[in-house]
Amino acid sequence: MKILILGSNGRLGSALARSWSKSTEAEIIPLTRAEVDLSDPEKAQAGLASYDFGTGDVVVNCAAATDVDGCERDRELATRINAEAPGRIARLCAQRGARLVHIGTDYVFDGMLDRPYAEEDEANPLSHYGVTKLAGDHEVLIASPLHCVVRVSWVFGPDKPSFVDAIVRRALSNPEAAAVHDKTSSPSYTEDMALWLGEFLKTELPGGIYHLCNSGTCSWRDYGEYAMECAQKNGIPLLTTSVAPLKLSDMQAFVAVRPPHTALDASKFARLTGITPRPWKEAVKEYFAHWRP
Ligand SMILES: NC(=O)c1ccc[n+]([C@@H]2O[C@H](COP(=O)([O-])OP(=O)(O)OC[C@H]3O[C@@H](n4cnc5c(N)ncnc54)[C@H](OP(=O)(O)O)[C@@H]3O)[C@@H](O)[C@H]2O)c1
């Protein structure tokens, strides 16, 4: 079996390539932007088609234009990378009899719901990033009943810094920290994701949309503060572990509108696999047990 990973230099793609190289017998083929550039969908399709894969193999698409404000600035490029290229890749995989596992986002929702979003909840993106990612989801799902869209949120892990690394690193030299408190979601630890996404390599799991993240809901402030506490307990000399609350409306530098409450409900995945994602605090604690500045 072959597993081709698009976006293998990214936070999630790197973790999958690293983890699956050790944990599966399958041949892992990591593909970076240099090998398959999604900004030219036709060339991306041809690039992927040059690899020998077929029935029983899996393509995992972790590549995306992930700069939410950047997508607002260059809408046409975001559309090509997040919507058109995944469509072409999905159709190529369908022709070859391979499953595509396409990574999606909580930003397809407007964040107005007072509970975690389930797969059947109506999407209503507020940003061009969300619009293009939702269009990509549709393109993937209509190409084959075997394909899966796995929506994740607030991705963190050892392969590329994210919000928690930034807030902890800043507290090494700055005694003041602040983060948005009226925006909530569910963190997704890439080491856990590698384990859970391994389930999609088995064909018994039906195609369709899945929500996948660590369990529980938190604000950016809760998430940052807990990360700082964990780092400090592990001997990282922080000048503070207290995070002042900011309002989303205070974030003047944001170009794109962010959805306020986008925690994801992973119970469909838990029901079909028997794997219940562990709480986000356990994952953050484990991550900072090994973290070094
Ligand atoms: N990060 C989050 O908090 C978050 C939240 C919800 C959903 N997601 C979704 O999760 C998936 C993985 O995100 P991530 O956190 O791993 O983001 P990431 O670290 O930004 O990785 C994205 C990858 O896409 C690649 N890429 C960008 N433009 C490309 C192009 N034109 N052609 C080919 N590859 C291109 C990047 O390549 P380079 O390394 O060359 O730049 C990078 O490897 C994405 O689908 C994202 O939408 C992420």
* pLDDT band for position 230 (cuts 50, 70, 90): very high
Chain segment 171-193, per-residue pLDDT in tens: 999 999 999 999 999 999 999 99
224 inside domain: no
Chain segment 116-150, per-residue pLDDT in tens: 999 999 999 999 999 999 999 999 999 999 999 99
14 inside domain: yes
176 inside domain: no
Chain segment 156-174, per-residue pLDDT in tens: 999 999 999 999 999 999 9
Rounded distance, CA 181 to CA 174, Å?
A: 20
Q: 185 CB under 6 A from ligand 1?
A: no
Rounded distance, CA 125 to CA 117, Å?
A: 13
Predicted local confidence at residue 41, as pLDDT:
98
Nearest to 199 by CA among 53, 24, 32, 35: 24
Predicted local confidence at residue 74, as pLDDT:
98
Predicted local confidence at residue 127, as pLDDT:
98
285 inside domain: no
Average pLDDT, the chain: 97
155 inside domain: yes
Predicted local confidence at residue 33, as pLDDT:
98
Whether the pLDDT of residue 202 is over 90: the answer is no
Predicted local confidence at residue 153, as pLDDT:
98
Ligand 1 atom, smallest distance to 105 CA: 7
Percent of the chain with pLDDT over 70: 100
Give the chain's domain count: 1
The alpha carbon of 9 and the centre of ligand 1 are apart by a number of angstroms equal to 8
Whether the pLDDT of residue 243 is over 90: the answer is yes
Average pLDDT, integer, range 217-222: 98
289 inside domain: no
Tell me the CATH number at 65. Answer: 3.40.50.720
Quote the domain boundaries for residue 271.
2-161+187-216+263-279
Predicted local confidence at residue 228, as pLDDT:
98
The alpha carbon of 64 and the centre of ligand 1 are apart by a number of angstroms equal to 4
- By the 8 A CB rule, do 67 and 253 touch? no
pTM: 0.98
Whether the pLDDT of residue 293 is over 90: the answer is no
104 inside domain: yes
138 inside domain: yes
- By the 8 A CB rule, do 6 and 60 touch? yes
For helices 190-197 and 11-23, angle between their N-to-C axes, nearest 10 degrees:
50
Please give the positions annotated as active site. 129
Q: 213 CB under 6 A from ligand 1?
A: no
Mutate to test the pocket of ligand 1, among 6, 8, 12, 149 (most ligand atoms within 8 A of CB): 12
Q: Which residue has the tokens 């959805």?
A: 259
The two structure tokens encoding residue 65: 């234009």
